[in-house]
Amino acid sequence: MPHAPFLTCVLINGAQIFFVSVFINGTHEEFLNLCMQESDGRIMLRILIVDDDIQIRDMLRQMLEREGFEVADAPDGGKAVKSQRSHPADLVITDILMPGKEGLETIRVFRQDFPDVKIIAMSGGGQAGPDIYLKMARKFGAAHTFTKPVDRYDLLKAVHQALR
């Protein structure tokens, strides 16, 4: 009996790497879909970006999508909470100073209503400077905090650490 050809796909889930051999008896799309799935069957981890600055949201979206994450965004905390209720994210990256529901209140609501969601906070400062806001963000439950402008590599490292 001839052996069926197979391909090997690497699946990354946090720090774990899974090797899956797929016998080709389906379509190319089925193989690609299987390659994108994580061990729990989800297609990819979802990140929600919350910032009133559309340029920052777009820049972060592009960076995170290139890393293989599914990305959603919201211009303020109120819309972020609505998004989380309808399409839950695994990680939230939020600005602190925004109109509407600002970042500290957003972190408080996420900790109360979605305790398993990881949170990264960032701030450009305001009148008091970013340090006081970021210190409060940590007290409210942010796993990592950053002063804007955020270093791309530091943020990606924090994202991967938070999602382990």
SS3 4: coil
Cβ-in-10-Å burial (0-12, 13-18, 19+) of 25 comes to exposed
The per-residue pLDDT for 41 is 52
CATH homologous superfamily of 46-162 equals Response regulator (3.40.50.2300)
Compute how many other C-beta atoms are within 10 angstroms of the C-beta atom of residue 102. Answer: 20
pLDDT tens over the chain, length 164 residues? 444 444 443 444 333 333 333 334 444 444 444 444 444 454 589 999 999 999 999 999 999 999 999 999 999 999 999 999 999 999 999 999 999 999 999 999 999 999 999 999 999 987 778 999 999 999 999 999 999 999 999 999 999 999 99
Residue 12: the pLDDT is 44
E strands, 102-152, where? 118-123, 144-147
Residues of the chain with CATH 3.40.50.2300: 46-162
The per-residue DSSP string of 72-107 comes to EEESSHHHHHHHHHHS--SEEEEESS-SSS-HHHHH
Q: What is the pTM of this model?
A: 0.74
